Amino acid sequence: MTHLDSTSAAPALELTTTSPTVSVIHAASDVAREWWRTAVIYQVYPRSFADADGDGIGDIPGITSKLDHFVDLGVDAVWLSPFYRSPQADAGYDVADYREVDPLFGTNADFEALLEGAHARGLKVIADLVPNHTSDDHAWFQAALAAGPGSAERARYLFREGQGEDGELPPNNWKSIFGGPAWTRVSERAAAATDGITDGQWYLHMFDTRQPDLDWEHPEVRSEFEDILRFWLDRGVDGFRIDVAHGMVKAPGLPDWDGDVAMVEGSSEAPGAVDTEPHEAAEDGSTGAGNSGPMFDQEGVHDIYRAWHKVLAPYDGDRALVAEAWVEPLSRLARYVRSDEMHQAFNFSYLTTAWDAAALRGVVTASLEASDAVGAPTTWVLSNHDVIRHASRMGLTGAAVRPNGIGKNDPQPDAELGLRRARAATLQMLGLPGSAYVYQGEELGLPEHTDLDDDLRQDPAWWRSGYTEAGRDGCRVPLPWVADAPGYGFGPTGKTWLPQPDTYKECAADVQRATEGSTYSMYKAALATRRAKDLGLGSLGWVEDFASSSSVLAFVNNDVLVVTNFGEAPVALPEGAEVLITSGPLTTTGDRTGVPQDTTVWVQV
Ligand code: TEU
């Protein structure tokens, strides 16, 4: 524990007892013990985790070689972003064969070895399923192009005639989430396909041109995906993260929609623009992170998940489905995790809540209420492969819009502030009951790569936005394992598919593991204590002294008091308080320990 001597004046805020009066909004559970209710799940982005074959791109044997990292850190499960055969137009979220590992990442046998090694260590493994769209290289789409209008092959996708005299206008006005129109026109003449002539039908793609949306009204689409689920369940995967889980069913007739579907909220803003207005938190915890429109959150998606629930049910080991659904409010998101549907849903309202005591109290309350109402665990997440790493995002002072990536010419984050807040946010998150997600590298305190050369960018959002959104490459840079090795030990050759910034040296796993007070040691201590004290199944009671404070967030989970200070004046802890973990240096005034600004502590109750 690092204590910092301080001569600052007596703190204005204090806690006088380690057993404060609390208003309990979520009771501890003593019944349901399925692993996914409490699991801390580590997201692996395979191309950037560890490279075994030296081509500069991470692979499955690389992940297997690092399984002890997960054990040492203390997580319960690993979720792997897609590793299936794919032309990699969207880093594997464009799947050409759902049953085969891409040679870039290894073989199916490599995956089975990974699974075996993980299970031997008591780790669960979650695969990523991408059912909203396939790759344009998928056999079904190739057959659809070849078969022509009106064919059974085209019926599995959303092909439509264009508008205008010669069908030269797209069937509706939908925009792709990556920017540009959501429709691409094909040619109906085999020869024209290679000379760029388009004269035929249009197909829908909510993401890149190379990611055609499937038609989920088609029974073959439904049965194929149930079969794919069984294929991986039979091999032993413990669950699936379902990509764009709110997008598979579209409103009948595909009506026009003038709303915004882009990845940047308030997309009229320049990328990375900061709004100086404080972020207003809605009563129900909504932040604007939810997608709306006739292509999202349609009632019909729930039938799919009820059917999938039945596919998983006969398997042993509490297999789980996790919804990646950008849906708000949280009560609406909770419909995906009703008792006969999926098991968890990512909490993007929490991820996108500003660093503000009142806003966080609101979103945590709304999250627990919404999931308690359907008997599902709440989840918490601060980073993933689609958003700016929280160590950098939280250093974008005053940011109210959520930029999609940060480029050289955008306002740069304050790295020190970002890391301090990120550590405080993480320690707060890991003190909450439910399940939590950790994105690879955040345990090393890894920042976003914010000055990547534009010509190295690979995210389709970069060009599809007309080069206005930097995109997501900055959070997908290969991990640093060894400070003094080439490529920071990412692989045996020093090659890395994206360059690593110099700041990664101090984040390298070997340095982090050996340094007292490092971000890694904080994560490790928090995960061990979380497990020992059963915080995942724990309670949540807001400390009444701070129930309406704008600068302090304090709650009790089981016998741990979690206090975060957002304000300038340190918060004095009760005399003799036993601090279990702190996210940063504490102050001492007389015989009282103080929690300074942007710091979270866990105190024994
Ligand atoms: O992301 C889908 C997704 O829903 C987000 O793009 C979301 O719509 C947006 O951030 C909200 O404003 C998933 C994957 O995580 C992503 O990497 C893929 O590019 C995408 O699906 C397409 O498969």
Whole-number pLDDT of residue 144:
97
Ligand 1 atom at shortest distance from the alpha carbon of 178: 6
For the stretch 21-41, pLDDT in tens is 999 999 998 777 899 999 999
For the stretch 533-546, pLDDT in tens is 999 999 999 999 99
As a whole-number percent, the residues of the chain with pLDDT over 90 amount to 87
For the stretch 299-346, pLDDT in tens is 999 999 999 999 999 999 999 999 999 999 999 999 999 999 999 999
Nearest to 588 by CA among 604, 575, 605: 575
Q: What are the residues whose beta carbons fall under 8 Å from the beta carbon of 447, sequence distance 6 or more? A: 389, 391, 392, 413, 415, 418, 419, 501, 503, 507
Quote the CA–CA distance of 545 and 553 in Å, as a whole number: 10
Examine the pLDDT at 149 and tell me if it is beyond 50. Answer: yes
CB of 291 within 6 A of ligand 1: the answer is yes
How does residue 273 score in pLDDT terms, banded at 50, 70 and 90? very low
What is the distance in A from the centroid of ligand 1 to the CA of 135?
15
Classify 354 as helix, strand or coil. Answer: coil
Examine the pLDDT at 294 and tell me if it is beyond 70. Answer: yes
Ligand 1 atom at shortest distance from the alpha carbon of 207: 22
91-106 mean pLDDT: 98
pTM of the model: 0.95
Whole-number pLDDT of residue 265:
44
Whole-number pLDDT of residue 267:
34
As a whole-number percent, the residues of the chain with pLDDT over 70 amount to 93
Q: Can you say whether the dihedral through the CA atoms of 433, 436, 442, 448 is positive or negative?
A: negative
Nearest to 244 by CA among 219, 220, 213: 213
- Specify the residue with its C-alpha closest to ligand 1, atom 22: 93
Examine the pLDDT at 271 and tell me if it is beyond 50. Answer: no
Examine the pLDDT at 272 and tell me if it is beyond 60. Answer: no
For 147-183, b/e burial (b = at least 16 CB within 10 A) is ebeeeebbbbbbbbebeeeebeebbbebbbbbbbbbb
In contact, 600 and 564? CB cutoff 8 Å: yes
Whole-number pLDDT of residue 589:
81
CB of 130 within 6 A of ligand 1: the answer is yes
CB of 518 within 6 A of ligand 1: the answer is no
84-98 mean pLDDT: 98
Question: Secondary structure of the chain: what % helix, strand, coil (to 5)?
Answer: 30, 15, 55
87 phi/psi in degrees, rounded to 5:
-75, 0
The dihedral over CA atoms of 453, 419, 81, 217, expressed in degrees to the nearest 10, equals -100
Most confident of 7-11, 188-192, 410-414, 445-449: 445-449
Lowest mean pLDDT among 5-9, 37-41, 91-95: 5-9
What is the distance in A from the centroid of ligand 1 to the CA of 181?
16
- Does a cis peptide bond (omega within 30 degrees of 0) precede residue 329? yes
How does residue 401 score in pLDDT terms, banded at 50, 70 and 90? low
CB of 263 within 6 A of ligand 1: the answer is yes
What is the distance in A from the centroid of ligand 1 to the CA of 385?
9
Ligand 1 atom at shortest distance from the alpha carbon of 384: 15
What is the distance in A from the centroid of ligand 1 to the CA of 134?
14
What is the distance in A from the centroid of ligand 1 to the CA of 246?
11
Return the structure tokens found at 305: 């998940």
Which residue out of 177, 296, 465 has the highest number of ligand 1 atoms within 8 Å of its CB and is therefore the one to mutate?
Answer: 177
How does residue 269 score in pLDDT terms, banded at 50, 70 and 90? very low
In contact, 470 and 272? CB cutoff 8 Å: yes
Q: What are the residues whose beta carbons fall under 8 Å from the beta carbon of 543, sequence distance 6 or more? A: 15, 20, 21, 22, 554, 555, 556, 561, 563
Nearest to 122 by CA among 239, 238, 241: 238
In contact, 214 and 166? CB cutoff 8 Å: no
For the stretch 478-493, pLDDT in tens is 999 999 999 999 999 9
Start-to-end CA span in the chain (Å): 18
- Specify the residue with its C-alpha closest to ligand 1, atom 16: 386
Which residue out of 326, 346, 381 has the highest number of ligand 1 atoms within 8 Å of its CB and is therefore the one to mutate?
Answer: 326
Crossing angle of helices 415-430 and 519-532, rounded to 10°: 10
Which residue out of 93, 248, 352, 472 has the highest number of ligand 1 atoms within 8 Å of its CB and is therefore the one to mutate?
Answer: 93
Quote the CA–CA distance of 465 and 179 in Å, as a whole number: 5
What is the distance in A from the centroid of ligand 1 to the CA of 386?
7
How does residue 450 score in pLDDT terms, banded at 50, 70 and 90? very high
CB of 213 within 6 A of ligand 1: the answer is no
For the stretch 224-266, pLDDT in tens is 999 999 999 999 999 999 999 999 999 999 999 998 775 544 3
Nearest to 406 by CA among 460, 503, 471, 476: 471
- Specify the residue with its C-alpha closest to ligand 1, atom 9: 263
Ligand 1 atom at shortest distance from the alpha carbon of 130: 23
CB of 386 within 6 A of ligand 1: the answer is yes
CA 580 to chain centre: 28
| 568 dihedral zone (left: phi>0; alpha: psi -120 to 50; beta) | alpha
Quote the CA–CA distance of 368 and 431 in Å, as a whole number: 14
Which residue out of 48, 80, 94, 243 has the highest number of ligand 1 atoms within 8 Å of its CB and is therefore the one to mutate?
Answer: 243
Ligand 1 atom at shortest distance from the alpha carbon of 94: 23
For the stretch 543-602, pLDDT in tens is 999 998 999 999 999 999 999 999 999 999 999 999 999 999 999 988 899 999 999 999
CB of 297 within 6 A of ligand 1: the answer is no
What is the distance in A from the centroid of ligand 1 to the CA of 259?
17
| 552 dihedral zone (left: phi>0; alpha: psi -120 to 50; beta) | beta
